[in-house]
Amino acid sequence: MKYAEMAITVSDLNKYIKEKIANDEYLNNVLVKGEISNFKNHYTGHMYFTLKDENCLIKCIMFKSYAQKLRFMPKDGMKVILFGGVSVFERDGVYQIYAQAMEEDGLGDLYTKYQELKNKLEEKGLFDEKHKIKIPFMPKVIGVLTSRNRSSNKRYN
């Protein structure tokens, strides 16, 4: 038998994974805490964001019907506790949390550290306009920085 005859499609695989996750009671009722980043309040009323901690992240969506019930407006850097279910967006093969409820849990540590560093650099004058150089319309040289591997980035360890 040829491999081509045994192989399934990407669509079939994503559908299978989605069904496996859908049948997991724990993944359908998760309570997760983390810090919001990349928050987007879409014009449709849906909210898209990433929930992260010191080591990992997961994409999240809160549909308009649930977002309307919030007593606050989420924003980047906010610590939250959310309730929802994990599912797979089949088309892209991406798993994410579909949030149904959320409450504030303070200001995030990652955001606080970011703000502290930003303020420190501002005090040193590193964001002054006098240091900025206008990018030429047609640059003569373009440099690209890469890495041999991703292990140097702590997030991927």
- Which of 33-47, 51-65, 114-128 bottoms out in mean pLDDT, i.e. has the lowest? 114-128
Mean pLDDT score of the chain: 89
pLDDT band for position 33 (cuts 50, 70, 90)? very high
State the architecture of 3-107 in CATH terms: Beta Barrel (2.40)
What ranges do the domains of the chain cover? Answer: 3-107, 112-151
pLDDT number for residue 155: 45
Flag the least confident range among 35-49, 113-127, 141-155.
Answer: 141-155
pLDDT above 70 covers a percentage of the chain that reads: 93
Return the sign of the alpha-carbon dihedral for residues 111, 117, 119, 121: negative
What pLDDT, in 10s, does the model give residues 44-68?
A: 999 999 999 999 999 999 999 999 9
- Show the tokens assigned to 48: 């898209």
The pair of structure tokens assigned to 112 is: 């606080």
Closest CA to 11 of 78, 89, 63: 89
More confident residue, 8 or 4: 8
Residue length of the chain: 157
Residue 121: Cβ within 10 Å count: 11
Give 151's pLDDT tier (boundaries 50, 70, 90): low
pLDDT number for residue 85: 97
**What confidence score (pLDDT) does residue 53 get?**
94
User: Is the per-residue pLDDT at 156 higher than 90?
Assistant: no
